[in-house]
Amino acid sequence: MAVIDINKLHFAYNGDFVLEDINETIEAGKFVGILGPNGSGKTTLLKCINGLLNPQKGQVQIDKEKVESMDQKEIARKVAYVPQIFSNVFPATVFDTILMGRKPHLGWRPSDRDLNISSDIILKLDLANIALKDINKLSGGQRQRVFIGRALAQEPQIILLDEPTANLDLHHQHEVMGLLKSLSNQNITVIVAIHDLNLAMQYCSDFLLLNNKKIAARGGHDIFRESLIEETYQVKVKIIKDKNIPFIIPLKNH
């Protein structure tokens, strides 16, 4: 059960700061939606949390240990990262891709335990009928499930996902978010960068809104006020509630 502490984090690409003074504590088992306009630093923040990028100032700690001073294997045993899928990836079968998730735990060859964990995930995520298929030949929804499966094979305490529902149809968007919710119910911390505010609101427990290099708001559903959304996204909106969940309706300018 891992706690993430982000403390006075500043990150710059080539001297230009894109994140400034980010402070946040994320408790175990939360399902956090990282929101914000394009270029607001969502991907950069995820990469700082799992040590792919090192901040120029400040730090991320996982269970009080600085991520920068952990080695890759050590990080990967705690944190799994599912990057945004842009295009085709190196050809591999579904089974091999999921087994690859065991890498941080492997010796020189997979043990029975590694194979069993991979098989269990294949069954749990309903991938058995495509286990030997090349991942490049799958639909978007299937491929996203495979990459979540690979992340789970790491047996992480934290899963970071970059826009896992982009390019998925409504059914698969809800399938993926439901799967992530069930992981957070098992005390895995789930952090997703996501554009769809309404989808995020139906599933996430906590929200972190990035804008102008900073955290513009954080908290529960209560952060979603019309004025804040209009200021952040520069679009007029109306918020309605259904079963206490706010839904944001963007309005046309005239």
Using CB under 6 A, count the residues that bind ligand ADP.
11
| CA angle in degrees (0–180, nearest 5) for 195-166-179 | 95
Burial of 167 (0-12, 13-18, 19+ CB in 10 A): middle
- Which among 36-44, 63-71, 230-238, 244-252 is the span making contact with ligand ADP, rule CB under 6 A? 36-44
Integer Cα distance of 30 and 207 in angstroms: 10
Is 38 a residue that touches ligand ADP (CB under 6 A)? Answer: yes
* Smallest separation, CB 46 to ligand ADP (Å): 8
DSSP sequence for 209-236: EEETTEEEEEESGGG--HHHHHHHHSS-
The SS3 of residue 36 is coil
- Between 22 and 188, CB nearer to ligand ADP: 22
Is 39 a residue that touches ligand ADP (CB under 6 A)? Answer: yes
Q: How far is CA 209 from CA 42, 60, 229, 242, in A?
A: 9, 18, 10, 22
Q: Which residue is nearest to Mg ion (CB)?
A: 43
- Which among 32-40, 64-72, 92-100, 182-190 is the span making contact with ligand ADP, rule CB under 6 A? 32-40
Interface map 17-56 toward Mg ion (x if CB under 5 A): -------------------------xx-------------
Footprint of ligand ADP on 168-197 (CB under 6 A): 193
Footprint of ligand ADP on 41-80 (CB under 6 A): 41-44
Integer Cα distance of 7 and 59 in angstroms: 5
What single-letter amino acid sits at 222? Answer: D
* Footprint of ligand ADP (CB under 6 A): 13, 18, 36, 38-44, 193
